[in-house]
Structures are given as structure tokens and as C-alpha cells.
Structure 1
Amino acid sequence: MNYDEKDGVESLARKLDAHISGGNPESFANGELNELGAEYKKQIGHARTSLLLLYRTICPYCEQLKPLLKDLANEYKSKVYFAMLDIDAIPSAREEFDVLGVPLVIAFKKGYPVGRVEGLRSFDEYDRWIESIHQGMNPMLIKDGPSTQFP
């Protein structure tokens, strides 16, 4: 795909996105990394595009990732809902999402998981991944990064 074709596809994706959302910004996409509790499924399902960080407070990679996701949440304000869930506080999430290590970021479209990245990656890698998901394209594959594994 040459540059003009890619630009045309991205323009079409933006128009389709505006049409689907009625031109209204996502009310849940508040530009923050929101801490979730037991009602996480309901909250994730409200937004058209959501990202959920599954983490543990004892994970050093998780603590490094939080500021990156906060910056990305601000960048994608009114487009993507960003949330985080402590799997030690909500242990059922570990089994539900088949968590083998943290940090784990799962992307959702209308409440359905469409992609996941395990481990710490760069800001640019997450940015490209999120943009592809938000535009409705197949999420690109990102190799796993450093993570805290479970025994």
C-alpha cells in the first residue's frame, strides 16, 4: 500500500468512526487511566473502544507502564476508554482473561476482546497498536515484553 492509499484508508476510517459514533466523543473516554473494581465488565462494555490494564501492585513493569498509559489516555481522550484492574483485588479476572503474567493490556471493541499485549512495551508500540484498534483494523502483533510471571 502506497502513501496515498494509506492516507485514503485512514481518512475513510475517521469518517466511518465519526458516523458510527454519531460525531459525539466517547463519554467514557475521559483522558484518564481509571481504576476499576468488581463492576469492570459493565464499565468496559460501555465504551466503543476500551483498553484494560491488568496489573499487580508488586509488579515493577506494571508501575512503569501506568505513566505511559496515562499519557496515551490523554492523547486518546474522547476516543478510547482506558482502565486498570488489580488482579490481586479481583482474582476472578486472572482466570477470566487467562493471565499468565503482568502487565497485560487487553483491547476491547464494544465489550469484546480484540487484542492483547503482555509485558512492557514502548510508548510508540502501544500508540500504533491502539490506533489500529481504534480505527477498526486488525490489531498488529506485538511481541511480548518484560513481564512478571506467576509461579
Structure 2
Amino acid sequence: MGPSNEERLTVPAETVAEVMASDPVAVPADWPVSEAARRMAENGIGSVVVLDEAGELLGICTDRDITVRVTAVKRGPDTPVREACTERGVVAVGPDTPVREAALIMRRHAVRRLPVVLDGRVVGVVSLGDLVMDRDPYSVLADISAADPHL
């Protein structure tokens, strides 16, 4: 787990690179959702990056995607991740994107996570929680975002 709210710098970050989660967990699009869910559970995260056959960003698969697009419609754990993930028009940013711009993109597209791409490779993910913890580290949402996901 990252630094506590008390340990965080009081100066807000300027770029996404300063707040993103580096080296995101990624899975191939043809893997079963059960494997994506296992990776989420092992890493205490709510989403994985989904890569196409060429290793490029296809989308993001969240725990909610699996629940709504697989479990709720009685599909099985062998359903390919590509059939559960959010892939149409996936929005990404670069590591040098200003934090304020990333927040505006999240608002405009109604997304909670943005893949961070550099030279065609996913190098991180920035979440709404990351932005809140940076901008308002003493807020309730920041406390929830910083909490141990296994509790």
C-alpha cells in the first residue's frame, strides 16, 4: 500500500505520471474472465487492462463488468475477457497529461479509470481515487481509496 494521507506531499501533482499506478495488471483479451477476476483478487484491484493479440490496449475489464456482463446474464467463467470488457472508444492519456485534464476527461467520458499509454504501451492506470488522494488527501473518498481492499 502507498503512503498514508499524513505522509503524502501537500503539493498537488502536476502530471498523471506522478499519481498513476505503474505497471498495471494486464491480461490478453482471449483469457477467461475467471483468470481476470483471479488477478484482481490477488492484487487487491478492481480492474485489469485488456490487451489485443498485438499487445496493444483493447480496453479495461472491471469487477463490475464481470458481474453485469457475465454473471448477471448467466454466462460462465470461461467467457473471454474481451466479451466483458469496456472496449468501445476506450479513452487513454499519456504520462505527461496534466492531472486537471485527466479529471476533465474522466468527467466528460463518465469513467473512473484511464489507461496511461506511452509509445503504444500501457505504462499505468490513473483512477478517480488516485486523483482524489492527490487533490484532497483528507477527504472521505481519499480515506476509502487508501483503505486495504482485502478488509
* Superposition TM-score, scaled by structure 2 size: 0.29
* Superposition TM-score, scaled by structure 1 size: 0.29
